[in-house]
Amino acid sequence: MDMKGITAERKSFRVEGARIANFLSDMQNFRQIMPEQIEDWYADEMSCSFFIKNLGKLGMTKGEVSNMQQFEFPSSESSKVKFILYFNFQNIGNDESEGFFELKADMNPMIEMMAKRPLTNFVNILTENFQTQISK
């Protein structure tokens, strides 16, 4: 599998790492940070699925957590695209963290050309919406 990486812009969060971990531990919370144009949203605590125009039906599950600094969300069996969504973050001071979403997907060069912009948009929207939600 040739996994291509697409990384969002890094954002800062003025919250404790535990709050970030708590939000990411329930896949139902992802509805609050998804782009507006998703359709057919479904989620439980462990997984979610949704439809994005021009990409199709996507699904992901809770994966591994590395040192409470990287959260992994691999694609589910039903997903049309095989990918891993990561949320990377690090504490940089008192109640201050930096983080971003990153997507690694199995794409051939032709698909990558077509999908790079919408997927970059997707991870940037996730990161921006996450920053807004977590700061409330």
Sign of CA dihedral 76, 107, 33, 100: positive
Q: What's domain 3-134's architecture?
A: 2-Layer Sandwich (3.30)
Q: What's the mean per-residue pLDDT of the chain?
A: 90
Q: State residue 6's pLDDT score.
A: 93
Q: CA dist 38 to 13, 32, 54, 88, Å?
A: 25, 11, 11, 23
Q: Is the pTM of this model over 0.95?
A: no
* 36-42-48 Cα angle (round to 5): 95
DSSP state of 17: H
Q: State residue 39's pLDDT score.
A: 94
Q: State residue 18's pLDDT score.
A: 83
pLDDT of 119 above 80:
yes
Instruction: Spell out the domain ranges in the chain.
Output: 3-134
Q: State residue 68's pLDDT score.
A: 78
pLDDT of 3 above 80:
no
Q: State residue 15's pLDDT score.
A: 86
Instruction: Please give the average per-residue pLDDT across 29-45, as a whole number.
Output: 94
Q: State residue 2's pLDDT score.
A: 63
